[in-house]
């Protein structure tokens, strides 16, 4: 069972410094280059079998995704995705997978040729956002917001093997090979936890109650801790014709990271 280990805030100098030192290399890797792009960059994936190539995905639905030389930062090619990409994963064997949110599909890209190899529907999920992968067993985990579902897919055929209902506003997923645990975090304030009993059978382990807004998640595979960030949220504004369902907005100065462990 997962429980809250600590809360990191701007005022907690000592714990925050420790966590920063632990995850610092990952922050450096992601911020090292200022990459040329069209639209707002949303996800970047490094494919290890194509030397020096990264693939960056733009939030703008019709912008091409640039393949970038990691050594120089220069664009070496673009990929016409035909929709709005979300999160991506690489299999370490030459293929990059990315969710296409507005098309309800997942695409497989050859990182060497920068060509799309396959397009697969993610039904019964829809509007897919977060994506994770069990590389050893060739399983993809795509999570959707509408319908709110997590689907397990075969990374070679695109076949949906199993699906689970999840809470609203999913935004992150992670798979831990050592334990076989799969995690999905949502804006509603839940972390859904599943176990890979076999490559073709997954079971629900627990649903961890976090806090509203804690949808962005990181997994430390060394300590097995989960990190989610959130803040205090004000009540939503009054509905208008233009915005019939206004969202709650974060209160400035209340940002915090919640750490969950076993």
Q: Given the DSSP bridges, would you call strands 75-79 and 85-90 parallel, antiparallel or unpaired? A: unpaired
Q: Given the DSSP bridges, would you call strands 75-79 and 201-209 parallel, antiparallel or unpaired? A: unpaired
In the chain, pLDDT over 90 holds for what percent of residues? 58
Secondary structure class of 170 (helix, strand, coil): strand
For the chain, the structural domain boundaries read 12-231
Least confident of 93-102, 118-127, 191-200: 93-102
Section 215-236 average pLDDT: 93
Section 35-44 average pLDDT: 45
The pTM (predicted TM-score) of the whole model is 0.81
Section 93-107 average pLDDT: 94
d(CA 219, CA 121): 27
The mean predicted confidence, pLDDT, of the chain is 81
**C-alpha closest to that of 214 among 248, 169, 150, 176:** 169
pLDDT at 83 > cutoff 60? yes
d(CA 107, CA 155): 10
pLDDT at 248 > cutoff 70? yes
Section 115-141 average pLDDT: 97
pLDDT at 114 > cutoff 70? yes
Question: Looking at the domain covering 12-231, what would its CATH class be?
Answer: mainly beta
Section 135-141 average pLDDT: 98
Predicted local distance difference test score (pLDDT) of residue 179: 96
The pLDDT confidence band at residue 1, using thresholds 50, 70 and 90, is confident
pLDDT in tens, 155-208: 999 999 999 999 999 999 999 999 999 999 999 999 999 999 999 999 999 999
Question: What are φ and ψ of residue 21, in 5° steps?
Answer: -65, -35
Predicted local distance difference test score (pLDDT) of residue 17: 32
CA dihedral defined by 180, 257, 44, 174, rounded to 10 degrees? Answer: 10
pLDDT at 251 > cutoff 60? yes
For residue 246, the 8-state DSSP code is P
């Amino acid at each position: 069972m997962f429980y809250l280990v600590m809360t990191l805030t701007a005022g907690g100098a000592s714990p925050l410094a420790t966590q920063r030192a632990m995850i610092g290399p990952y922050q450096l890797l992601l911020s090292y280059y200022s990459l040329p792009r069209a639209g707002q960059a949303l996800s970047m994936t490094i494919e290890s079998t194509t030397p020096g190539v990264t693939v960056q995905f733009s939030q703008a639905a019709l912008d091409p995704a640039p393949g970038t030389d990691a050594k120089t930062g220069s664009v070496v090619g673009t990929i016409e995705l035909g929709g709005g990409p979300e999160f991506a994963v690489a299999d370490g064997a030459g293929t990059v997978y990315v969710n296409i949110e507005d098309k309800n599909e997942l695409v497989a890209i050859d990182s060497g040729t920068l060509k799309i190899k396959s397009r697969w529907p993610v039904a019964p999920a829809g509007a897919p956002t977060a994506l994770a992968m069990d590389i050893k067993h060739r399983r993809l985990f795509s999570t959707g917001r509408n319908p709110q579902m997590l689907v397990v897919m075969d990374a070679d055929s695109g076949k949906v093997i199993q699906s689970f209902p999840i809470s609203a506003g999913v935004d992150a997923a992670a798979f831990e090979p050592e334990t076989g645990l799969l995690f999905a975090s949502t804006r509603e304030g839940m972390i859904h936890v599943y176990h890979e009993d076999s490559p073709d059978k997954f079971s629900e382990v627990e649903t961890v109650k976090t806090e509203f807004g804690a949808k962005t998640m990181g997994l430390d595979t060394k300590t097995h801790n989960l990190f989610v960030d959130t803040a205090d949220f004000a009540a939503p504004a009054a509905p208008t014709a233009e915005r019939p369902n206004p969202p709650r907005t974060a209160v400035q100065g209340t940002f915090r990271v919640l750490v969950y462990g076993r």
